[in-house]
Amino acid sequence: MTILSSGYQIPHDNVSRQLKELIVDPLAQVRGVFPPCVVVVDALDECKDPHSTSLILSALADCAQHLYPLTLIMTSRPEHVIRAQFQERRLSGATDQLVLHDVPLGVVSRDIRCYLEASFPRVKRSFMVPIDWPSREAIEVLTQRSAGLFIYAATVVRFIEDLRYSNPPEQLRRLIASTASSSTTLLDTLYNEILTAACPEPSQDLVDRLKTILGSIVLIRSPLSALNLEQLLGLEQYCVYNTLTSLRSVLSVPDGGDGAIRVIHPTFAEFLLDCKSPDFSIDQQTHHAHLLQCCLKVMTTNLRQNICDLRDPSRLNNEVPDLADRISHSIPPYLQYACLHWAAHLHVHEYLDDVLLRLLDEFVSKYLIFWVEVCSLLGRLNDAAKALNDTQLLLRSIGPRASETATLMSDCVRFITMFFPSISASSLQIYHSALPFAPMGTKLTIIYRDRLITKGAVMVRRGESKTWPRSGTTGSAHGYVLSLAFSPDGRSFISGGDDRMVKLWNTDTHSHLATLSGHTHSVTSVAWSHDGNLIASGSWDKTIRIWDARLGIAVRVLEGHMDGVLSVAFSPDGTTIVSGSFDHTVKVWDAKAGVCQLTLTDHMDWVRSVAFSHNGKYIASGSYDCAVRLWDPLGIIPPRILVGHSKVVSSVVFSPDGTRLLSGGDDNSLIVWVSTLVKSFAQSKPLMPYTTLHSPTTHQKPSLHPMTQSI
């Protein structure tokens, strides 16, 4: 409570910092007196954003050894991303896994039977029913039909005790009378029975309204209350609440209309998306198109200049004392949803008919700048630039009928990028300084500048540019920039320079996000781990630093090289780092423990470049001794010498499928080594190149494009 009441913005901080500040550090202070405690993290797979799930698991992995006396029980369906993270070394060693499908069916059935027997007395206390109801046979039938699925039994109980029907014996009779051949189809049959009971003889109007509401609840990217869902969908007041009143066995519908409506279990959403009944089936493309249309209508109806009625453009957003109240009043949740998620629905739908194109054109030509203002106020301007950039690329693929809209969006991306520092800090600077300085010949400026520049804004008397700069720059970076690397999701990149700093940048807006300081000499090499959680940097100060990419802090310093470090690379699982140095060695490090596991010493000169193969089984290094060497990361098999270069080998890289290794050198050549190098790895004789590509000028560092496999 002390931390939460201190004014520190912990609710808005990243997961790792929240876990450290709210759990790990307080636990350390009471360890020895705090009793053992079990914490359940339920339904991890229901995080809509896989990146958020990854952050949660990564944060837990980082502090797993410091959580005692807490025991965490995490439940999830076996999604690939979640299973992959639990198989990584950091989590696999600290966790035990229980696969429920491996539990004998008899054990699960016994538990389900106990659950049913404990639940029906509660039903009997609420209704007048026969004393011997339900029969043992009925409970046994429900137990068997559950087939090990607790969700079936739980949904049955909620359906039978639903006050909207007030007839438990009849509800039970209907369920037992229904038939299906497997546990999955039994669950589908149950859901179908619930929907049929809620709408026994639905009119076409009710069917359309129910599908519109259910489709929105299932496909919406952030849950909304009944009142806000009505505003988003353009429905009458209380329409959502009244339509869903008989579906509380499958939906969480809070009374009063304020709480968010949620699907109780994802199997119901899956049933609707794969339903065979025309009355209840949800077509994803149709409903994403409808949600896109609703978002565009909401924005074109509600967006306006200075939407929060701020008075002082010199004040930063975070200096406005009542900004949260102004946002709550002027940008309600349904409008926030429309502004933040319209592009997501567009990209899922992809096909744009004339109606959607007209709405999109109206939004872009009349309200786009107001939308940028809202994104600034919500602190989501980075997301706005990415959404616009992705959308304009999609529109250009449609052809001439969307070219004008695409051009305006492209202009707006450049606008956000060029003026990001000012307009992200103060939304009113869009009108007071950004628009006046925007290139006068661009479509965005022609449409918006004259009618939106406010009194007291900056006036440009001469020297106005007519077009956007040819390339977006990050401004002052380091002096000399010596190394670059993208994050795995492509949304950020890092740079290392001769100013001893590692800097973190946003890809879409080119804005500077953080500076990682600690090296005492030039940073020669940077690398990002494949899960995006860690950054490694090598320096002439002889050290490698490992940084937490989310917190921007150094978590480990690797010391052991006798001279400057020239190259660093992560293994695919992020547990190992390889480095090459002026001291002629290649070192293999445990990224978690921060200790050197292996030193490889066969090179006769500086090691300029190192790389891991994508299966983690091989390390390649290029050196000033003109040789490429292929190493076993465990140090068991002697290294292979790849002979072909006549001068310094400046760069090495493996292809994503592991069948090729590329090396580039100061001899103006790029050599392609093929899969035979792996097959003959244990042989002692030098390996000759498969293909040598010569150039009249020296190449810079070659790299292989991961998608097209082109250089």
Evaluate if residue 593 carries a pLDDT over 70: yes
| Claim to verify: residue 62 and residue 112 sit in the same structural domain | no
CA distance 436 to 74: 53
Q: What is the DSSP string of 358-404?
A: HHHHHHHHHTHHHHHHHHHHTT-HHHHHHHHHHHHHHHHHH-GGGHH
| Claim to verify: residue 298 and residue 405 sit in the same structural domain | yes
| Claim to verify: residue 35 and residue 114 sit in the same structural domain | no
Evaluate if residue 648 carries a pLDDT over 90: yes
Q: Which pLDDT does position 302 carry in this prediction?
A: 97
C-alpha dist (Å) from residue 437 to 349, 409, 470, 694: 36, 18, 16, 47
C-alpha dist (Å) from residue 571 to 170, 496, 590, 698: 61, 20, 10, 29
Percent of the chain beyond pLDDT 70? 90
| Claim to verify: residue 494 and residue 571 sit in the same structural domain | yes
| Claim to verify: residue 194 and residue 266 sit in the same structural domain | yes
Evaluate if residue 280 carries a pLDDT over 50: yes
Question: 667: domain CATH number?
Answer: 2.130.10.10
Evaluate if residue 702 carries a pLDDT over 50: no
C-alpha dist (Å) from residue 56 to 44, 221, 488: 9, 19, 17
Evaluate if residue 215 carries a pLDDT over 80: yes
Percent of the chain beyond pLDDT 90? 48
Evaluate if residue 170 carries a pLDDT over 70: yes
- Within 10 angstroms of residue 19's Cβ, the number of other Cβ atoms is 19
Tell me whether residue 320 is in a domain.
yes
Tell me whether residue 204 is in a domain.
yes
Residues 176-204 have pLDDT tens digits of 887 655 555 778 888 988 898 888 888 89
Instruction: Categorize the per-residue pLDDT at 519 as very low, low, confident or very high, splitting at 50, 70 and 90.
Output: very high
Evaluate if residue 691 carries a pLDDT over 80: no
Instruction: Categorize the per-residue pLDDT at 686 as very low, low, confident or very high, splitting at 50, 70 and 90.
Output: very low
Give the residue from 212, 245, 274 where a domain finishes: 274
Instruction: Categorize the per-residue pLDDT at 511 as very low, low, confident or very high, splitting at 50, 70 and 90.
Output: confident
| Claim to verify: residue 542 and residue 619 sit in the same structural domain | yes
| Claim to verify: residue 32 and residue 166 sit in the same structural domain | no
Give the residue from 274, 307, 332 where a domain finishes: 274
| Claim to verify: residue 92 and residue 120 sit in the same structural domain | no
Contacts of 247 (CB under 8 A, 6+ apart): 194, 195, 198, 253
Contacts of 223 (CB under 8 A, 6+ apart): 217, 260, 261, 262
Evaluate if residue 251 carries a pLDDT over 70: yes
| Claim to verify: residue 176 and residue 228 sit in the same structural domain | yes
| Claim to verify: residue 93 and residue 123 sit in the same structural domain | no
Residues 616-645 have pLDDT tens digits of 889 999 999 999 999 999 888 888 888 889
Calculate the average pLDDT of the chain: 86
Q: Which of 78-92, 128-142, 537-551 is the least confident region? A: 78-92
Evaluate if residue 684 carries a pLDDT over 50: no
| Claim to verify: residue 628 and residue 499 sit in the same structural domain | yes
Tell me whether residue 385 is in a domain.
yes
Evaluate if residue 438 carries a pLDDT over 50: yes
Residues 454-507 have pLDDT tens digits of 777 777 766 677 888 765 555 556 678 999 999 998 888 999 999 999 999 888
Cβ(553)–Cβ(521) under 8 Å? no
Instruction: Categorize the per-residue pLDDT at 58 as very low, low, confident or very high, splitting at 50, 70 and 90.
Output: confident
**The pair of three-digit structure tokens given for residue 395, joined into one six-digit string:** 């529109």
Domain count, the chain: 4
Instruction: Categorize the per-residue pLDDT at 553 as very low, low, confident or very high, splitting at 50, 70 and 90.
Output: confident
Instruction: Categorize the per-residue pLDDT at 294 as very low, low, confident or very high, splitting at 50, 70 and 90.
Output: very high
Of residues 342 and 515, the one with the higher pLDDT is 342
Tell me whether residue 311 is in a domain.
yes
**The pair of three-digit structure tokens given for residue 402, joined into one six-digit string:** 């969307």
The pLDDT of 583-589, averaged and rounded, is: 95
Residue 255 DSSP code: G
Whole-structure pTM value: 0.67
Tell me whether residue 358 is in a domain.
yes
| Claim to verify: residue 57 and residue 140 sit in the same structural domain | no
CA distance 339 to 322: 21
Domain assignment of residue 189, given as a range? 105-274
